[in-house]
Amino acid sequence: MIDKNFIETQIETIVEHSRTWIKILIVGAVIAISVLLAIVSTVDVKLLLLIPIAIAGCGGVLFLLRQPAWGVVGLIVASSLVPSFLGDGQLRNISPAIMLEGLLFGLWILDMVARQRHIHWVPSRPNLPLALFLITGVIALINGQINYYYVTKLAPITAQISAFGLFVLSAIAFWLVSNRFSSPRWLVITVWLFLGLSSVYIFGRLIPPLKPMIFRTFQYGFGDASLFWTWLAAMTTSQLLLNKQLGQRWRIALGALLAASLYIALGEAYSWKSGWLPALITIAAIIFVGFPRYRQYAVLMGMVVLVVGFSQISGAVTGEEDYSILTRVEASSLILKIVKANPIIGLGPANYYWYTPLFPIQGYRVQFNSHNNYIDILAQTGLVGLGLFIWFAVELGRLAWRLKDTVPQGFPRAFVIGTFGGLIGTLASGILGDWFIPFVYNVGYVGFRSSILFWMFSGGLVVLEQTYLKREDIKPVIVKP
Protein backbone atom coordinates (compact mmCIF):
# COMPACT_ATOMS: atom_id res chain seq x y z
CA MET A 1 0.00 0.00 0.00
CA ILE A 2 1.03 3.62 -0.55
CA ASP A 3 1.63 6.22 2.14
CA LYS A 4 -1.76 7.79 2.93
CA ASN A 5 -0.19 11.22 3.49
CA PHE A 6 0.96 11.25 -0.12
CA ILE A 7 -2.54 10.52 -1.47
CA GLU A 8 -4.07 13.12 0.87
CA THR A 9 -1.59 15.71 -0.37
CA GLN A 10 -2.55 15.00 -3.97
CA ILE A 11 -6.26 15.33 -3.20
CA GLU A 12 -5.70 18.62 -1.35
CA THR A 13 -3.77 20.00 -4.32
CA ILE A 14 -6.59 19.11 -6.68
CA VAL A 15 -9.24 20.63 -4.43
CA GLU A 16 -7.15 23.76 -3.95
CA HIS A 17 -7.35 24.60 -7.65
CA SER A 18 -10.88 23.28 -8.26
CA ARG A 19 -12.55 26.70 -8.05
CA THR A 20 -10.46 28.09 -10.88
CA TRP A 21 -11.14 25.01 -13.00
CA ILE A 22 -14.89 25.23 -12.40
CA LYS A 23 -14.99 28.89 -13.42
CA ILE A 24 -13.13 28.17 -16.64
CA LEU A 25 -15.36 25.20 -17.43
CA ILE A 26 -18.53 27.19 -16.80
CA VAL A 27 -17.40 30.02 -19.09
CA GLY A 28 -16.38 27.56 -21.78
CA ALA A 29 -19.64 25.64 -21.49
CA VAL A 30 -21.74 28.82 -21.75
CA ILE A 31 -19.87 29.92 -24.85
CA ALA A 32 -20.15 26.48 -26.46
CA ILE A 33 -23.86 26.15 -25.70
CA SER A 34 -24.57 29.66 -26.98
CA VAL A 35 -22.81 29.00 -30.27
CA LEU A 36 -24.49 25.63 -30.81
CA LEU A 37 -27.95 26.93 -29.96
CA ALA A 38 -27.47 29.76 -32.42
CA ILE A 39 -26.80 27.35 -35.29
CA VAL A 40 -28.84 24.36 -34.13
CA SER A 41 -31.32 24.84 -36.95
CA THR A 42 -28.64 24.15 -39.53
CA VAL A 43 -26.82 21.27 -37.88
CA ASP A 44 -27.64 17.84 -36.56
CA VAL A 45 -28.94 17.97 -32.99
CA LYS A 46 -26.49 15.16 -32.19
CA LEU A 47 -23.76 17.78 -32.17
CA LEU A 48 -25.11 18.88 -28.80
CA LEU A 49 -23.57 15.71 -27.42
CA LEU A 50 -20.20 17.32 -28.08
CA ILE A 51 -20.82 19.77 -25.26
CA PRO A 52 -20.27 17.36 -22.34
CA ILE A 53 -17.39 15.78 -24.26
CA ALA A 54 -15.76 19.17 -24.75
CA ILE A 55 -16.28 20.06 -21.08
CA ALA A 56 -14.80 16.76 -19.96
CA GLY A 57 -11.87 17.28 -22.33
CA CYS A 58 -11.17 20.76 -20.98
CA GLY A 59 -11.38 19.45 -17.44
CA GLY A 60 -9.01 16.62 -18.29
CA VAL A 61 -6.44 18.98 -19.81
CA LEU A 62 -6.61 21.29 -16.81
CA PHE A 63 -6.22 18.35 -14.48
CA LEU A 64 -3.16 17.10 -16.36
CA LEU A 65 -1.62 20.57 -16.29
CA ARG A 66 -1.90 20.55 -12.51
CA GLN A 67 -1.19 16.86 -11.92
CA PRO A 68 0.86 15.53 -14.89
CA ALA A 69 2.14 12.53 -12.93
CA TRP A 70 -1.37 11.08 -12.71
CA GLY A 71 -1.55 11.24 -16.49
CA VAL A 72 1.71 9.30 -16.79
CA VAL A 73 0.34 6.68 -14.39
CA GLY A 74 -2.77 6.56 -16.55
CA LEU A 75 -0.69 5.32 -19.48
CA ILE A 76 -0.75 1.88 -17.83
CA VAL A 77 -4.55 1.86 -17.79
CA ALA A 78 -4.84 3.29 -21.30
CA SER A 79 -2.40 0.70 -22.67
CA SER A 80 -4.11 -2.28 -21.08
CA LEU A 81 -7.82 -1.50 -21.02
CA VAL A 82 -8.88 1.40 -23.26
CA PRO A 83 -9.78 0.30 -26.80
CA SER A 84 -8.98 2.28 -29.91
CA PHE A 85 -11.92 4.33 -31.09
CA LEU A 86 -10.66 5.76 -34.35
CA GLY A 87 -11.78 4.66 -37.80
CA ASP A 88 -10.87 1.65 -39.90
CA GLY A 89 -7.49 0.64 -41.24
CA GLN A 90 -4.23 1.78 -39.69
CA LEU A 91 -5.98 4.40 -37.55
CA ARG A 92 -7.29 1.62 -35.34
CA ASN A 93 -3.72 0.91 -34.29
CA ILE A 94 -3.38 4.38 -32.76
CA SER A 95 -4.32 3.49 -29.20
CA PRO A 96 -5.57 6.00 -26.60
CA ALA A 97 -2.28 5.41 -24.76
CA ILE A 98 -0.43 6.93 -27.72
CA MET A 99 -2.79 9.91 -27.83
CA LEU A 100 -2.49 10.39 -24.05
CA GLU A 101 1.29 10.23 -24.28
CA GLY A 102 1.28 12.84 -27.03
CA LEU A 103 -0.97 15.10 -24.94
CA LEU A 104 1.24 14.70 -21.86
CA PHE A 105 4.35 15.48 -23.87
CA GLY A 106 2.74 18.55 -25.41
CA LEU A 107 1.59 19.83 -22.01
CA TRP A 108 5.07 19.23 -20.62
CA ILE A 109 6.67 21.30 -23.38
CA LEU A 110 3.99 23.98 -22.92
CA ASP A 111 4.67 24.09 -19.19
CA MET A 112 8.41 24.50 -19.74
CA VAL A 113 7.96 27.24 -22.35
CA ALA A 114 5.06 29.18 -20.80
CA ARG A 115 5.65 28.79 -17.07
CA GLN A 116 9.25 27.75 -16.48
CA ARG A 117 10.55 29.86 -19.37
CA HIS A 118 13.19 27.31 -20.32
CA ILE A 119 13.48 23.80 -21.71
CA HIS A 120 14.87 21.44 -19.10
CA TRP A 121 15.41 17.68 -19.00
CA VAL A 122 16.32 15.91 -15.79
CA PRO A 123 20.04 15.15 -16.27
CA SER A 124 21.03 11.50 -16.53
CA ARG A 125 23.58 9.56 -18.55
CA PRO A 126 21.03 7.55 -20.61
CA ASN A 127 19.60 10.80 -22.02
CA LEU A 128 22.48 11.54 -24.38
CA PRO A 129 22.54 8.23 -26.32
CA LEU A 130 18.74 8.22 -26.48
CA ALA A 131 18.64 11.78 -27.86
CA LEU A 132 21.39 10.96 -30.36
CA PHE A 133 19.45 7.84 -31.33
CA LEU A 134 16.45 10.00 -32.25
CA ILE A 135 18.65 12.46 -34.16
CA THR A 136 20.09 9.51 -36.06
CA GLY A 137 16.53 8.43 -36.81
CA VAL A 138 15.80 11.84 -38.33
CA ILE A 139 18.93 11.63 -40.48
CA ALA A 140 17.98 8.09 -41.49
CA LEU A 141 14.48 9.30 -42.40
CA ILE A 142 15.96 11.94 -44.69
CA ASN A 143 18.46 9.45 -46.09
CA GLY A 144 15.58 7.02 -46.62
CA GLN A 145 14.31 9.12 -49.51
CA ILE A 146 17.20 7.74 -51.55
CA ASN A 147 16.29 4.55 -53.41
CA TYR A 148 19.31 2.26 -53.10
CA TYR A 149 17.64 -0.44 -55.23
CA TYR A 150 16.05 1.52 -58.06
CA VAL A 151 14.23 -1.54 -59.44
CA THR A 152 11.72 -1.41 -56.58
CA LYS A 153 9.77 1.18 -54.61
CA LEU A 154 10.53 2.85 -51.34
CA ALA A 155 8.17 2.47 -48.42
CA PRO A 156 5.36 5.07 -48.52
CA ILE A 157 6.33 8.23 -46.71
CA THR A 158 3.49 7.64 -44.24
CA ALA A 159 5.00 4.26 -43.36
CA GLN A 160 8.46 5.77 -42.97
CA ILE A 161 7.17 8.48 -40.64
CA SER A 162 5.13 5.90 -38.72
CA ALA A 163 8.19 3.70 -38.25
CA PHE A 164 10.20 6.65 -36.96
CA GLY A 165 7.23 7.60 -34.78
CA LEU A 166 7.67 4.39 -32.79
CA PHE A 167 11.24 5.47 -31.97
CA VAL A 168 9.94 8.83 -30.78
CA LEU A 169 7.07 7.39 -28.73
CA SER A 170 9.45 5.03 -26.96
CA ALA A 171 11.82 7.84 -25.98
CA ILE A 172 8.96 10.09 -24.85
CA ALA A 173 7.63 7.37 -22.53
CA PHE A 174 11.07 7.17 -20.92
CA TRP A 175 11.36 10.94 -20.52
CA LEU A 176 7.82 11.44 -19.24
CA VAL A 177 8.45 9.12 -16.31
CA SER A 178 11.94 10.44 -15.56
CA ASN A 179 10.83 14.08 -15.71
CA ARG A 180 7.20 14.12 -14.55
CA PHE A 181 7.48 11.82 -11.53
CA SER A 182 8.54 14.17 -8.76
CA SER A 183 9.20 11.41 -6.21
CA PRO A 184 9.54 7.61 -6.01
CA ARG A 185 6.01 7.38 -4.62
CA TRP A 186 4.76 7.65 -8.19
CA LEU A 187 6.75 4.54 -9.02
CA VAL A 188 5.04 2.76 -6.14
CA ILE A 189 1.64 3.71 -7.58
CA THR A 190 2.63 2.70 -11.11
CA VAL A 191 4.07 -0.68 -10.12
CA TRP A 192 1.16 -1.70 -7.91
CA LEU A 193 -1.36 -0.52 -10.48
CA PHE A 194 0.41 -2.63 -13.10
CA LEU A 195 0.50 -5.65 -10.78
CA GLY A 196 -3.14 -5.18 -9.85
CA LEU A 197 -4.28 -5.09 -13.49
CA SER A 198 -1.98 -8.02 -14.28
CA SER A 199 -3.57 -10.02 -11.46
CA VAL A 200 -7.02 -9.54 -12.97
CA TYR A 201 -5.69 -10.63 -16.36
CA ILE A 202 -3.74 -13.67 -15.14
CA PHE A 203 -6.27 -15.07 -12.67
CA GLY A 204 -9.13 -14.27 -15.04
CA ARG A 205 -7.45 -16.43 -17.70
CA LEU A 206 -7.36 -19.33 -15.26
CA ILE A 207 -11.13 -19.23 -14.69
CA PRO A 208 -12.83 -20.65 -17.82
CA PRO A 209 -16.10 -18.67 -17.54
CA LEU A 210 -14.14 -15.41 -17.21
CA LYS A 211 -11.56 -16.09 -19.91
CA PRO A 212 -13.58 -14.73 -22.89
CA MET A 213 -14.42 -11.55 -20.97
CA ILE A 214 -10.77 -11.09 -19.98
CA PHE A 215 -9.67 -11.30 -23.61
CA ARG A 216 -12.33 -8.76 -24.58
CA THR A 217 -11.47 -6.39 -21.75
CA PHE A 218 -7.69 -6.38 -21.99
CA GLN A 219 -6.66 -5.00 -25.34
CA TYR A 220 -4.84 -6.88 -28.07
CA GLY A 221 -1.15 -6.02 -27.98
CA PHE A 222 -0.90 -5.88 -24.17
CA GLY A 223 -1.21 -9.29 -22.52
CA ASP A 224 -0.29 -11.21 -25.66
CA ALA A 225 3.06 -9.48 -26.18
CA SER A 226 6.43 -10.54 -24.86
CA LEU A 227 7.21 -7.52 -22.69
CA PHE A 228 4.06 -7.88 -20.63
CA TRP A 229 5.30 -11.27 -19.40
CA THR A 230 8.87 -9.99 -19.05
CA TRP A 231 7.93 -7.03 -16.86
CA LEU A 232 5.32 -8.97 -14.93
CA ALA A 233 8.08 -11.42 -13.99
CA ALA A 234 10.44 -8.52 -13.19
CA MET A 235 8.10 -6.66 -10.86
CA THR A 236 6.56 -9.69 -9.11
CA THR A 237 9.87 -11.48 -8.54
CA SER A 238 11.73 -8.42 -7.29
CA GLN A 239 9.03 -7.25 -4.91
CA LEU A 240 8.40 -10.80 -3.67
CA LEU A 241 12.03 -11.67 -2.96
CA LEU A 242 13.63 -8.32 -2.17
CA ASN A 243 11.01 -6.02 -0.64
CA LYS A 244 11.29 -7.02 3.02
CA GLN A 245 8.81 -4.31 4.04
CA LEU A 246 5.90 -6.18 2.50
CA GLY A 247 3.53 -7.98 4.83
CA GLN A 248 2.97 -11.72 4.63
CA ARG A 249 -0.34 -11.39 2.82
CA TRP A 250 1.18 -9.28 0.07
CA ARG A 251 4.05 -11.72 -0.36
CA ILE A 252 1.62 -14.64 -0.66
CA ALA A 253 -0.38 -12.69 -3.24
CA LEU A 254 2.74 -11.90 -5.27
CA GLY A 255 3.89 -15.51 -5.06
CA ALA A 256 0.52 -16.69 -6.33
CA LEU A 257 0.62 -14.17 -9.17
CA LEU A 258 4.13 -15.22 -10.21
CA ALA A 259 3.23 -18.92 -10.02
CA ALA A 260 0.01 -18.41 -12.02
CA SER A 261 1.79 -16.40 -14.72
CA LEU A 262 4.51 -19.02 -15.10
CA TYR A 263 1.86 -21.74 -15.19
CA ILE A 264 0.18 -20.03 -18.15
CA ALA A 265 3.44 -19.15 -19.91
CA LEU A 266 5.01 -22.60 -19.53
CA GLY A 267 1.78 -24.55 -19.93
CA GLU A 268 -0.93 -22.98 -22.01
CA ALA A 269 1.48 -20.86 -24.07
CA TYR A 270 4.57 -23.09 -23.97
CA SER A 271 5.07 -23.10 -27.75
CA TRP A 272 5.38 -19.29 -27.72
CA LYS A 273 8.96 -18.86 -26.60
CA SER A 274 8.80 -15.06 -26.63
CA GLY A 275 6.44 -15.33 -23.67
CA TRP A 276 8.34 -17.43 -21.15
CA LEU A 277 11.99 -17.40 -22.22
CA PRO A 278 12.65 -13.65 -21.61
CA ALA A 279 10.63 -13.94 -18.39
CA LEU A 280 12.84 -16.76 -17.09
CA ILE A 281 15.95 -14.82 -18.07
CA THR A 282 14.56 -11.86 -16.14
CA ILE A 283 13.99 -13.97 -13.02
CA ALA A 284 17.50 -15.46 -13.28
CA ALA A 285 19.04 -11.99 -13.56
CA ILE A 286 17.13 -10.75 -10.51
CA ILE A 287 18.28 -13.70 -8.41
CA PHE A 288 21.87 -13.32 -9.63
CA VAL A 289 22.00 -9.63 -8.68
CA GLY A 290 19.78 -9.71 -5.62
CA PHE A 291 21.43 -12.67 -3.88
CA PRO A 292 25.20 -12.33 -4.46
CA ARG A 293 26.13 -15.10 -1.99
CA TYR A 294 24.43 -17.65 -4.24
CA ARG A 295 25.89 -16.46 -7.54
CA GLN A 296 28.67 -19.04 -7.78
CA TYR A 297 26.29 -21.88 -7.00
CA ALA A 298 23.76 -20.62 -9.53
CA VAL A 299 26.42 -20.34 -12.24
CA LEU A 300 27.84 -23.78 -11.42
CA MET A 301 24.40 -25.36 -11.46
CA GLY A 302 23.60 -23.65 -14.77
CA MET A 303 26.81 -24.99 -16.34
CA VAL A 304 26.09 -28.54 -15.14
CA VAL A 305 22.54 -28.44 -16.47
CA LEU A 306 23.77 -27.01 -19.77
CA VAL A 307 26.42 -29.72 -20.24
CA VAL A 308 24.28 -32.64 -19.09
CA GLY A 309 21.03 -31.66 -20.71
CA PHE A 310 22.05 -29.66 -23.77
CA SER A 311 19.84 -31.62 -26.15
CA GLN A 312 16.81 -31.27 -23.89
CA ILE A 313 17.42 -27.54 -23.44
CA SER A 314 17.85 -26.92 -27.15
CA GLY A 315 14.72 -28.92 -27.84
CA ALA A 316 12.79 -26.93 -25.26
CA VAL A 317 13.93 -23.66 -26.80
CA THR A 318 13.18 -24.62 -30.39
CA GLY A 319 10.29 -27.01 -29.79
CA GLU A 320 7.64 -26.58 -32.44
CA GLU A 321 9.35 -23.54 -33.94
CA ASP A 322 12.18 -25.22 -35.87
CA TYR A 323 10.81 -23.98 -39.18
CA SER A 324 10.21 -20.51 -37.77
CA ILE A 325 13.79 -20.31 -36.46
CA LEU A 326 15.16 -21.49 -39.80
CA THR A 327 13.27 -18.83 -41.74
CA ARG A 328 14.16 -16.13 -39.22
CA VAL A 329 17.86 -16.91 -39.48
CA GLU A 330 17.66 -16.78 -43.27
CA ALA A 331 15.62 -13.57 -43.14
CA SER A 332 18.22 -11.92 -40.93
CA SER A 333 21.08 -12.97 -43.18
CA LEU A 334 19.27 -11.62 -46.25
CA ILE A 335 18.48 -8.32 -44.54
CA LEU A 336 22.16 -7.97 -43.62
CA LYS A 337 22.91 -8.29 -47.34
CA ILE A 338 20.33 -5.59 -48.09
CA VAL A 339 21.89 -3.24 -45.52
CA LYS A 340 25.27 -3.43 -47.27
CA ALA A 341 23.95 -0.65 -49.53
CA ASN A 342 24.41 1.75 -46.60
CA PRO A 343 25.57 0.06 -43.40
CA ILE A 344 26.54 3.30 -41.62
CA ILE A 345 23.20 5.11 -41.44
CA GLY A 346 20.91 2.37 -42.76
CA LEU A 347 18.20 2.45 -45.39
CA GLY A 348 15.73 4.62 -43.52
CA PRO A 349 12.70 3.70 -41.39
CA ALA A 350 10.53 0.91 -42.89
CA ASN A 351 12.39 0.86 -46.24
CA TYR A 352 14.15 -2.49 -46.02
CA TYR A 353 10.77 -4.26 -46.00
CA TRP A 354 10.18 -3.02 -49.56
CA TYR A 355 13.62 -4.18 -50.72
CA THR A 356 13.18 -7.76 -49.49
CA PRO A 357 11.44 -9.16 -52.64
CA LEU A 358 14.74 -8.58 -54.45
CA PHE A 359 16.30 -11.23 -52.17
CA PRO A 360 14.27 -14.47 -52.36
CA ILE A 361 13.68 -16.30 -49.08
CA GLN A 362 13.14 -20.06 -49.25
CA GLY A 363 12.84 -19.57 -53.02
CA TYR A 364 10.00 -17.03 -52.78
CA ARG A 365 10.13 -13.36 -53.74
CA VAL A 366 7.98 -11.90 -50.98
CA GLN A 367 8.13 -9.09 -48.48
CA PHE A 368 9.37 -10.16 -45.07
CA ASN A 369 10.80 -8.70 -41.89
CA SER A 370 13.52 -9.89 -39.55
CA HIS A 371 11.49 -10.61 -36.37
CA ASN A 372 14.58 -9.26 -34.60
CA ASN A 373 14.81 -5.83 -32.98
CA TYR A 374 18.54 -5.50 -33.51
CA ILE A 375 18.39 -6.35 -37.19
CA ASP A 376 15.48 -3.92 -37.58
CA ILE A 377 17.38 -1.08 -35.92
CA LEU A 378 20.47 -1.85 -38.00
CA ALA A 379 18.50 -1.93 -41.25
CA GLN A 380 16.68 1.31 -40.51
CA THR A 381 19.35 3.42 -38.78
CA GLY A 382 22.58 1.58 -39.55
CA LEU A 383 25.52 0.82 -37.33
CA VAL A 384 25.27 4.31 -35.86
CA GLY A 385 21.70 3.80 -34.67
CA LEU A 386 22.36 0.30 -33.36
CA GLY A 387 25.47 1.46 -31.55
CA LEU A 388 23.58 4.31 -29.91
CA PHE A 389 20.80 2.03 -28.72
CA ILE A 390 23.36 -0.39 -27.23
CA TRP A 391 25.03 2.60 -25.54
CA PHE A 392 21.64 3.60 -24.09
CA ALA A 393 21.04 0.07 -22.78
CA VAL A 394 24.53 -0.05 -21.24
CA GLU A 395 23.91 3.28 -19.48
CA LEU A 396 20.64 1.95 -18.08
CA GLY A 397 22.43 -1.13 -16.79
CA ARG A 398 25.20 0.96 -15.24
CA LEU A 399 22.66 3.22 -13.56
CA ALA A 400 20.77 0.27 -12.10
CA TRP A 401 24.03 -1.27 -10.88
CA ARG A 402 24.98 1.96 -9.10
CA LEU A 403 21.55 2.39 -7.57
CA LYS A 404 21.20 -1.13 -6.18
CA ASP A 405 23.70 -0.41 -3.39
CA THR A 406 22.57 3.19 -2.83
CA VAL A 407 18.78 3.20 -2.56
CA PRO A 408 17.08 2.13 0.69
CA GLN A 409 15.93 -1.41 1.35
CA GLY A 410 12.31 -2.13 0.54
CA PHE A 411 10.50 -0.99 -2.57
CA PRO A 412 13.33 1.17 -4.03
CA ARG A 413 15.97 -1.56 -4.02
CA ALA A 414 13.48 -4.18 -5.22
CA PHE A 415 12.45 -1.86 -8.06
CA VAL A 416 16.04 -1.20 -9.11
CA ILE A 417 17.00 -4.87 -9.23
CA GLY A 418 13.69 -5.77 -10.85
CA THR A 419 14.28 -3.14 -13.53
CA PHE A 420 17.80 -4.45 -14.09
CA GLY A 421 16.37 -7.95 -14.58
CA GLY A 422 13.64 -6.56 -16.80
CA LEU A 423 16.28 -4.80 -18.91
CA ILE A 424 18.16 -8.08 -19.40
CA GLY A 425 14.94 -9.91 -20.29
CA THR A 426 13.88 -7.13 -22.65
CA LEU A 427 17.21 -7.20 -24.48
CA ALA A 428 16.84 -10.99 -24.79
CA SER A 429 13.32 -10.59 -26.18
CA GLY A 430 14.70 -8.42 -28.97
CA ILE A 431 16.38 -11.50 -30.43
CA LEU A 432 13.00 -13.24 -30.67
CA GLY A 433 10.99 -10.40 -32.15
CA ASP A 434 10.58 -6.65 -32.50
CA TRP A 435 9.26 -6.27 -28.97
CA PHE A 436 10.94 -3.21 -27.41
CA ILE A 437 10.73 -1.01 -30.52
CA PRO A 438 7.96 -2.53 -32.67
CA PHE A 439 8.57 -2.59 -36.42
CA VAL A 440 5.78 -0.85 -38.29
CA TYR A 441 5.25 -3.80 -40.68
CA ASN A 442 5.21 -6.48 -37.99
CA VAL A 443 4.21 -5.90 -34.36
CA GLY A 444 3.48 -2.28 -35.22
CA TYR A 445 1.67 0.34 -33.18
CA VAL A 446 -0.48 -2.29 -31.51
CA GLY A 447 2.66 -3.63 -29.84
CA PHE A 448 3.36 -0.27 -28.22
CA ARG A 449 0.71 -1.17 -25.63
CA SER A 450 3.25 -3.63 -24.23
CA SER A 451 6.61 -2.14 -25.23
CA ILE A 452 5.77 1.04 -23.31
CA LEU A 453 6.34 -0.94 -20.09
CA PHE A 454 10.08 -1.22 -20.77
CA TRP A 455 10.46 2.49 -21.42
CA MET A 456 8.34 3.60 -18.47
CA PHE A 457 9.94 1.34 -15.87
CA SER A 458 13.41 2.19 -17.21
CA GLY A 459 12.60 5.87 -16.75
CA GLY A 460 11.91 5.05 -13.11
CA LEU A 461 15.63 4.48 -12.61
CA VAL A 462 16.23 8.16 -13.33
CA VAL A 463 13.60 9.11 -10.74
CA LEU A 464 15.47 7.11 -8.12
CA GLU A 465 18.78 8.53 -9.31
CA GLN A 466 17.52 12.07 -8.77
CA THR A 467 16.19 11.15 -5.34
CA TYR A 468 18.99 9.11 -3.83
CA LEU A 469 22.10 10.00 -5.82
CA LYS A 470 21.42 13.71 -6.34
CA ARG A 471 19.62 14.63 -3.10
CA GLU A 472 20.41 13.82 0.48
CA ASP A 473 17.35 15.26 2.21
CA ILE A 474 14.71 12.85 0.85
CA LYS A 475 13.34 10.25 3.22
CA PRO A 476 13.08 6.65 2.00
CA VAL A 477 9.83 5.51 0.42
CA ILE A 478 7.70 3.63 2.90
CA VAL A 479 5.68 0.70 1.58
CA LYS A 480 3.26 -0.39 4.25
CA PRO A 481 1.96 -4.01 4.45
Residue 472 pLDDT > 50, yes or no? no
| Distance between CA atoms of residues 416 and 462, nearest Å | 10
- pLDDT tens sequence across 98-115: 999 999 999 999 888 887
What does the buried/exposed string (b/e) look like for 260-280 if buried means 16 or more CB atoms within 10 Å of the residue's CB?
Answer: bbbebbeeeeeebbbbbbbbb
Per the CB < 8 A criterion, the answer to whether 357 and 322 are in contact is no
CA distance 76 to 248: 27
Q: Which residues on neighbouring strands pair with residue 364, listed in sequence order? A: 361
pLDDT at residue 84, rounded to an integer: 83
- Least-confidence region, from 84-88, 180-184, 193-197: 84-88
Please give the Cα distance from 185 to 2 (Å, whole number).
7
What confidence tens digit (pLDDT) does each residue in 278-324 have? 998 999 899 999 988 877 766 665 565 455 444 444 444 444 455 46
Confidence of residue 168 (pLDDT cuts 50, 70, 90): very high
- Is 263's pLDDT higher than 80? yes
CA 314 to chain centre: 30
Contact (Cβ atoms closer than 8 angstroms) between residue 261 and residue 233: yes
**What pLDDT, on the 0 to 100 scale, is given for residue 205?**
94
pLDDT of residue 32: 54
pLDDT at res. 10: 53
How remote is the C-alpha of 181 from its chain's centroid?
16
Cα–Cα distance for residue pair 349/133, rounded to 1 Å = 13
| pLDDT band, residue 62 (cuts 50/70/90) | confident
**Average pLDDT, integer, range 155-177:** 95
Q: What is residue 341's predicted lDDT score, i.e. its pLDDT?
A: 94
What local confidence, expressed as pLDDT, does residue 305 receive?
A: 47
Burial classification of residue 100, based on how many CB atoms lie within 10 Å of its CB (0-12 exposed, 13-18 middle, 19 or more buried):
buried
Instruction: Decide: residue 451, CB within 10 A, 0-12 exposed, 13-18 middle, 19+ buried.
Output: buried
Secondary structure (3-state) at 361: strand
Beta bridge partners of 361: 364
Residue 289's identity, in one-letter code, is V
> What's the rounded Cα separation, in Å, for the pair 290 and 276?
21
Q: What's the whole-model pTM score?
A: 0.85
pLDDT (average), residues 9-32: 52
Lowest mean pLDDT among 52-56, 99-103, 135-139, 363-367: 52-56
Share of the chain above pLDDT 90, in %: 59
Distance of CA 240 to the CA centre of its chain: 22
- Is pLDDT above 50 for 223? yes
Per the document, the length of the chain is 481
Q: Is 201 helix (H, G, I), strand (E, B) or coil?
A: helix
Task: Please report, for the chain, the start and end positions of each structural domain, with discontinuous segments joined by +.
Answer: 125-291+328-469
